[in-house]
Homo-oligomer: A and B are copies of this chain.
C-alpha cells in the first residue's frame, strides 16, 4: 500500500502540514505541494466541439502521480469555510480527466481510498462540516471510498500543537494507515 498527500496550503510548514506530518509519522509517503505546481482553472469545454484540449501546465504530471498510489490524503487549510482555491482548481480539472481517453480515470480512482485532513481557525468542527460533505459528494461521484477525516483547529503558526483532540485523532489515523 502506498500513500500520497496532496497539500492544498499556500504557506510553508503551516498547521495543516504539521498535522499531516503527525498523522504520517513513521509511515512512508509521497507529498505533492500544489502551491509549487502550475495548475490552471478548468476551461469547461465538455460541450464544445472537439471537447477538452491539452493544457500546458503541471496537472497531467500531478494526476499521474496521484494515480500511482493507493491511499489519497487531501490536506487543506480551511479558507473561507472551503478547501483552498488551488486545491479546488485541481479537483475542478477532474472533469477533464473524466473525459481523457488516455486512461479510465473513474475506474482507476475508484480502486483507491481517500482521507481528508482540514485545519481551520473559526470553529472548524462545525463550520468545516459543509466542506466535509462536499468531499463526500465528490468522492461518491467517482466511487472513491471516503475512509475518514480529521478536523483540526489552529490560526497562528504552530497553534495546532495545542489541539489535543486533533492529536488524538492523528494517532488514530496513524494506526489505521499502518494496518492497511
Contacts and interface: CB of A to CB of B under 8 A. Distances in A.
B85 A80 contact: no
Counting every copy of the chain, the complex holds: 4
A105 B125 CA distance: 27
Interface in A71-94: 77, 79-86, 88-92, 94
Contact of A80 (B45, B81, B94, B132): B94
Contacts of A126: 132-133, 136, 146
A175 interface: yes
27 contacts: A10-B42, A10-B43, A11-B45, A41-B89, A42-B84, A42-B85, A79-B92, A80-B91, A80-B92, A80-B134, A80-B137, A80-B138, A81-B133, A81-B134, A88-B89, A125-B148, A126-B136, A126-B146, A127-B137, A129-B132, A129-B133, A130-B137, A148-B165, A164-B172, A168-B171, A168-B172, A169-B169
